[in-house]
Amino acid sequence: MSTPSAEHPGHPAALLHHFDTAEQQKDASTLGMWLFLITEIMFFGGMFTAYVAGRFRFHEAFKEASNTLDVTLGAINTTVLICSSLTMALAVHAAQVGKKKQIVWFLLATILLGCTFLGVKVVEYHDKFVHHHVPGLHFHFPGPNARNAEMFFSIYFGMTGLHALHMVVGVGLLAVLAVRAGKGWFTPDYYTPVEMTGLYWHFVDIVWIFLFPLLYLLGAHFAITGH
Amino acid sequence: MSNHIVSTRIYFAVFAALIVFTWVTVAVARIDLGLYFNTVAALAIAVTKALLVVLYFMHVRYSTKLTKFVVAGGFLWLVIMIGLVMADYYTRAWIG
Amino acid sequence: MITAREEKLNYLTADYGVKSWLLTVDHKRIALLYLATITLFFFLGGAFAVLIRLELLTPAGDLVQSQTYNKLFTMHGVIMVFFFLIPAVPAVLGNFLVPLMIGARDLAFPRLNLASWYIFVIGGTLSILAAILGGVDTGWTFYTPYSSTYSNTYVMITAVGIFITGFASILTGLNFIVTIHRMRAPGLTWFRMPLFIWANYAASLIMVLGTPVVAVTILLVGVERAFGLCIFNPNCGGDPVLFQHLFWFYSHPAVYIMILPTMGVISELVAACTRKQIFGYKLVAMASVAIAVLGFLVWGHHLFVSGQSVYAGLVFSFLSYAVGIPSAVKVFNWTATLYKGANTYQTPMLYAFGFIGLFTIGGLTGLMLAATGLDVHVHDTYFVVAHFHYIMVGGAIMGYLGGMHFWWPKMTGRMYPELPAKLSALVIFVGFNLTFFPQFLLGYLGMPRRYHAYPEEFQVLNVMSTAGASVLAFGYALPMFYFVWSLRYGQRVGNNPWGAKGLEWLTSSPPPTHNFDVTPIVTEPAYAYAAEEGAEIVHT
């Protein structure tokens, strides 16, 4: 990302030497960021493919395993992430209209919500350890589909783990942004880093939007109706 | 990319829709619609939510054609990957 | 006058010292960093190849144990594919030329470009470390469950190395796409771009869309191996074929990462040496994109005998034939360009001729392998080995060396010596065919790949192959010497020693750090040779 160069701390809006105009520079950053997000889609895509293939072949086992997940916690986390996406969008908006204090507050709110999500995730992971639902030597699952359920949990940990890792990176980026926003770096003429981090954050939100129904809800009606 | 400023009212409206869809997806999942329709419903809602985020929160609706093309291309490639892999799994049982 | 020219600072003389190289953000210097690194990897991978060929000189497994042999071909494949062929043309020639050819001062993200080299070096170091510690024996394809469960070699370190290196490739591709979209000189419309740019653009699409998939696949193998997760493991219902799907989703298009930019090089060479516009320029440009797109739809032809559904096999077979169309378009259009051209036969053109011939053989045998019926018989035999070496070595490396000779005066300001260069092109061509053509026959006769011993009736062809390999090694060593020699003793050249078209020839050799003193304005299509000669006639 063509974030402001460290060589020009006083002029964060500095135009890098190889660009002709600030607009060209911003266009390049936007396109670059979107291409990066495409690579992220494909990166998660490999795991989604593994999920689809596994679910196609072992539907029963995936259903049973899915029903051990806590839908309430999942739904709460979905809501938390959507809220964080809103505060992120509002942070970008504040940067666009030049409300420098608001940028900081919205970024801090986003960080707080992100940490909340990760906190809930820790609770859920802990729950898995307690119930021996972590794949590996100590894995235990009742019924005849135990081995296939282990595959579900492998994919569950793979996908949510990778997602959580992206959240951690995102929180780190937001923290850097918040400090810089506090120093008044971002103006309506120059807020590319806020916007780019926003794109990243929304992308991580989208991944969760798919993970939630695919992992938590795929057999929910069986849990209720019991067949 | 234009410096289009999206009104905060739109952000709040999208936010409200996303929350509503989250509850709808949970509610629908608890109704037995049969093997396929539960999945279809869950995915349809997820795609709608993702589209809302992409179009409004990520400003793609107000972006250049190139950005739209890149986004669409990314999702298309995901579909190609999953589609062709599943073409294998789906047809494996056809010949014993 | 002469002193004035010598005093003008270029990208090589603008700054001195190790630090000025290791911290440079100049795309031209980064290209040279890549050049040094991949040359090292090339000779390392070559050393493994030498050992393989020596072992195969005799039918008995006498030089190395089978376990060692497994490690040799694995390390040869890993290093050649991930650390030489994939970065060869894009990261060296592409890095150097993409901004120059489109009239830009640098790539869009110069610091990302430098970061990509460091990522590459870290990944490469890990892979070498794995080799030093004892190597890895899974084959460069890391098929599960052997790689994830059973192999006792250094799979993890190699996997981490390749995972990391993938990001170098992603960053290069991303940088190229943004640069080509956003930084073209005024007047340089899409259909005025040199075909090298089109080809690199297409290859960059593959790097961006494909590399993440192999990264996540290797990651899954890693977690399966390290933490006992069950993704591909048959013990919990996992499907090794799923691994092959995900692996080849990237690794088949990866072949096009190697060959597409090389095709771009060939287009440049053919245009410059015939002094003609490339026949069917637009078709050749679109063929690059078509190869990139279709190349993503054919990976299943690696799985014909792996347990993939026969119906999927049919579809993949058909699509594999389809990718032959744009490839053939290119070959036909190059040969059509040669027709009635003002052809010259300097070294780059010799390499280009070599490329066209060898690539055609590699491509046609590829079509044979795309036929499921034949593939069942020659799958995992030397026929396949010969086929992909015709593409990757006969194609990609010939083109890479042709490009290196063509742009060497631009990179260094000095010309390589013509006679040894011509000799090297010839030796490489002969040595290559002697090495790999017998392998087609071996494969067709039924010799399987990846074994260190073989029945005696295969010895004659194997001896031919090994003899060819030593000729080939001599051919590859030659340029090392005369390129280095020319740095000091080569004849100095002006801006445009070939009289070629293209923005890179407008600036001085070597170019200044910011490439152009004045941003060029493009008013004509690429390779407008005829237009120029016509104008001269009017003036005289």
Chain A residue whose CA is closest to C169: A39
CB count within 10 Å of CB B71 equals 19
Q: Provide the pLDDT for residue A138.
A: 86
Which residue would you say has higher pLDDT here, C235 or C444? C444
Buried b / exposed e over A3-17, threshold 16 CB at 10 Å, is: bbeeeeeeebeeebe
Contact check, Cβ <8 Å, B25/A30: no
Q: Name which of A156-160, C31-35, C93-97, C232-236 the model is least confident about.
A: C232-236
Give B18's contacts in chain A (Cβ within 8 Å): 82, 85
C-beta of residue C80 within 8 angstroms of C-beta of residue C45: yes
Residues 36-95 of B with CB under 8 A from A: 38-39, 42-43, 45-46, 49-50, 53-54, 56-58, 63-64, 66-67, 70-71, 73-75, 77-78, 81-82, 85-86, 89-90
Nearest-angstrom CA–CA distance, B81 and A50: 11
Q: Which two tokens stand for residue B68?
A: 């739209």
Radius of gyration of chain B (CA): 18
Contact check, Cβ <8 Å, C514/A17: yes
Q: How far is A40 from chain B (nearest CA, A)?
A: 9
Give B95's contacts in chain C (Cβ within 8 Å): 309-311
What distances in angstroms separate CA A1 from CA A19, A109, A114, C295, C384, one per listed residue?
Answer: 14, 24, 22, 29, 42
Chain B residue whose CA is closest to A86: B15
- Concatenated DSSP letters for C89-111? IIIIIIHHHHHHHTT-SS-S-HH
Average pLDDT over residues C422-448: 97
Give the pLDDT confidence of A190-214 residue by residue, as tens digits: 999 999 999 999 999 999 999 999 9
Note whether C240 contacts A: Cβ–Cβ < 8 A. no
Q: Provide the pLDDT for residue A99.
A: 93
A partners (3+ CB pairs within 8 A) are B, C
Contact check, Cβ <8 Å, B95/C308: no
In one-letter notation, the amino acid at residue A11 is: H
The single residue listed with the structure tokens 């999920």 is A51
Q: How far is B39 from chain A (nearest CA, A)?
A: 7
Q: Name which of A71-80, C91-100, C341-350 the model is least confident about.
A: C341-350
- Give yes or no: residues B39 and B72 share one domain: no
Contact check, Cβ <8 Å, B80/C296: yes
Note whether A138 contacts C: Cβ–Cβ < 8 A. no
Q: Mean pLDDT, chain C, as a whole number?
A: 93
Largest Cα–Cα separation, chain C: 81
Closest CA to A71 of A149, A139, A124, A143: A124
Give the pLDDT confidence of B13-25 residue by residue, as tens digits: 999 999 999 999 9
- Concatenated DSSP letters for C442-509? HHHHTPBSS-S---GGGHHHHHHHHHHHHHHHHHHHHHHHHHHHHHHHSPB--S-TT---SGGGTS-S
Note whether A224 contacts B: Cβ–Cβ < 8 A. yes
C-beta of residue C350 within 8 angstroms of C-beta of residue C425: yes
Contact check, Cβ <8 Å, C312/B84: yes
Best B5, B18, B35, B92 residue to mutate vs chain A (most A CBs within 10 Å): B18
Predicted complex ipTM: 0.94
Give C229's contacts in chain A (Cβ within 8 Å): 135-136, 154, 157-158
Nearest-angstrom CA–CA distance, C204 and C190: 16
Closest CA to C173 of C195, C205, C199: C205
- Give yes or no: residues B36 and B75 share one domain: no
Helix (H) or strand (E) holding C45: helix C27-55
Sign, CA torsion C104/C110/C112/C114: positive
Note whether A24 contacts B: Cβ–Cβ < 8 A. no
Give A18's contacts in chain C (Cβ within 8 Å): 104-108, 110, 183, 514
Q: Provide the pLDDT for residue B93.
A: 85
> Could you give the 3-state DSSP secondary structure of residue A139?
coil
- Give yes or no: residues B30 and B17 share one domain: yes
C-beta of residue C506 within 8 angstroms of C-beta of residue C516: yes
Give the pLDDT confidence of A26-46 residue by residue, as tens digits: 999 999 999 999 999 999 999
Q: Provide the pLDDT for residue C85.
A: 96
C-beta of residue C78 within 8 angstroms of C-beta of residue C124: no
Q: Provide the pLDDT for residue A218.
A: 84
Give CATH for domain C29-539.
1.20.210.10
Chain A residue whose CA is closest to B47: A210
Nearest-angstrom CA–CA distance, B86 and B92: 10
Average pLDDT over residues C1-21: 76
Phi, psi of A108 (to 5 degrees): -65, -40
Tell me how long chain B is: 96
- Indicate whether C3 pLDDT > 70: no
In one-letter notation, the amino acid at residue C112 is: L
Q: Provide the pLDDT for residue A221.
A: 73
Q: Provide the pLDDT for residue A1.
A: 38
Nearest-angstrom CA–CA distance, A205 and A208: 5
Note whether C523 contacts B: Cβ–Cβ < 8 A. no
Helix (H) or strand (E) holding A116: helix A100-130
C-beta of residue C363 within 8 angstroms of C-beta of residue C391: yes
Give the pLDDT confidence of C513-525 residue by residue, as tens digits: 999 989 999 999 9
Nearest-angstrom CA–CA distance, A64 and A222: 9
Nearest-angstrom CA–CA distance, B59 and A192: 13
> Could you give the 3-state DSSP secondary structure of residue C17?
coil
Radius of gyration of chain A (CA): 21
Neighbouring-strand partners of residue C492: C414
- Number of structural domains (chain B) is 2
- Give yes or no: residues B80 and B39 share one domain: no
Helix (H) or strand (E) holding C405: helix C398-412
Note whether B20 contacts A: Cβ–Cβ < 8 A. no
What's the gap between Cα C400 and its chain centre?
7
Nearest-angstrom CA–CA distance, C185 and A28: 15
Note whether A207 contacts C: Cβ–Cβ < 8 A. no
Average pLDDT over residues C63-80: 95
**Which one of A28, A45, A137 has the shortest CB-CB distance to C108?**
A28
Helical H segments across C275-346, by residue range: 281-294, 310-338
Nearest-angstrom CA–CA distance, C71 and C52: 10
Residue C414 DSSP label: B
Task: Tell me the helix, strand and coil percentages in chain A, rounded to 5.
Answer: 75, 0, 25
Q: Which two tokens stand for residue A172?
A: 């780190």
Closest CA to A26 of A60, A59, A7, A1: A1
What is the number of CB-based contacts under 8 A between chain B and chain C?
A: 45
- Give yes or no: residues B6 and B53 share one domain: yes
Give the pLDDT confidence of C241-253 residue by residue, as tens digits: 999 999 999 999 9
Contact check, Cβ <8 Å, C220/A50: yes
pLDDT band (50, 70, 90) for residue C48: very high
Average pLDDT over residues C137-155: 93
Residues 143-202 of A with CB under 8 A from B: 198-199, 202
- Give yes or no: residues B59 and B69 share one domain: no
| Omega before residue C145 within 30° of 0, cis | yes
Q: How far is A58 from chain C (nearest CA, A)?
A: 8
Q: Name which of A142-156, B2-16, C207-221 the model is least confident about.
A: B2-16
- Concatenated DSSP letters for A118-149? HHHHHHHHHHHHHTT-SSSTT----STTHHHH
Chain C residue whose CA is closest to B81: C249
C-beta of residue C110 within 8 angstroms of C-beta of residue C25: yes
The single residue listed with the structure tokens 């997806």 is B25
Phi, psi of C484 (to 5 degrees): -65, -45
Average pLDDT over residues C478-501: 95
Note whether C182 contacts B: Cβ–Cβ < 8 A. no
> Range of B82's domain?
64-96
- Give yes or no: residues B49 and B70 share one domain: no
Nearest-angstrom CA–CA distance, A115 and A100: 23
- Concatenated DSSP letters for C234-246? GGGT--HHHHHHH
Note whether C518 contacts A: Cβ–Cβ < 8 A. no
pLDDT band (50, 70, 90) for residue A8: very low
Q: Provide the pLDDT for residue A17.
A: 82
Note whether A120 contacts B: Cβ–Cβ < 8 A. no
Q: Provide the pLDDT for residue B3.
A: 64
- Indicate whether C377 pLDDT > 70: yes
Note whether C311 contacts B: Cβ–Cβ < 8 A. yes
Q: Name which of C445-449, C487-491, C525-529 the model is least confident about.
A: C525-529
Contact check, Cβ <8 Å, B92/C297: no
Contact check, Cβ <8 Å, A206/B50: yes
Q: How far is B50 from chain C (nearest CA, A)?
A: 20
- Indicate whether B94 pLDDT > 90: no
Give the pLDDT confidence of C151-197 residue by residue, as tens digits: 999 999 999 999 999 999 999 999 999 999 999 999 999 999 999 99
Domains of chain A with bracketed CATH: 42-225 (1.20.120.80)
Radius of gyration of chain C (CA): 23
- Give yes or no: residues B41 and B17 share one domain: yes
Q: Which two tokens stand for residue A17?
A: 């030497």
Q: Provide the pLDDT for residue C498.
A: 94
Closest CA to C252 of C215, C216, C287, C292: C292
Is C281 buried (19+), middle (13-18) or exposed (0-12) by CB count in 10 A?
A: buried
Chain B residue whose CA is closest to C243: B85
Contact check, Cβ <8 Å, B95/C309: yes
Q: Name which of A130-139, C21-30, C262-271 the model is least confident about.
A: A130-139
Give the pLDDT confidence of B65-91 residue by residue, as tens digits: 999 999 999 999 999 999 999 999 999
- Give yes or no: residues B38 and B68 share one domain: no
Spatial CB neighbours of C89, under 8 Å, sequence gap ≥ 6? C200, C258, C261, C262, C264, C265, C396, C399, C400, C403
pLDDT band (50, 70, 90) for residue C135: very high
Give the pLDDT confidence of A45-99 residue by residue, as tens digits: 999 999 999 999 999 999 999 999 999 999 999 999 999 999 999 999 999 999 9
Note whether A71 contacts B: Cβ–Cβ < 8 A. yes
In one-letter notation, the amino acid at residue C520 is: P
- Give yes or no: residues B18 and B43 share one domain: yes
Residues 101-160 of C with CB under 8 A from A: 104-110
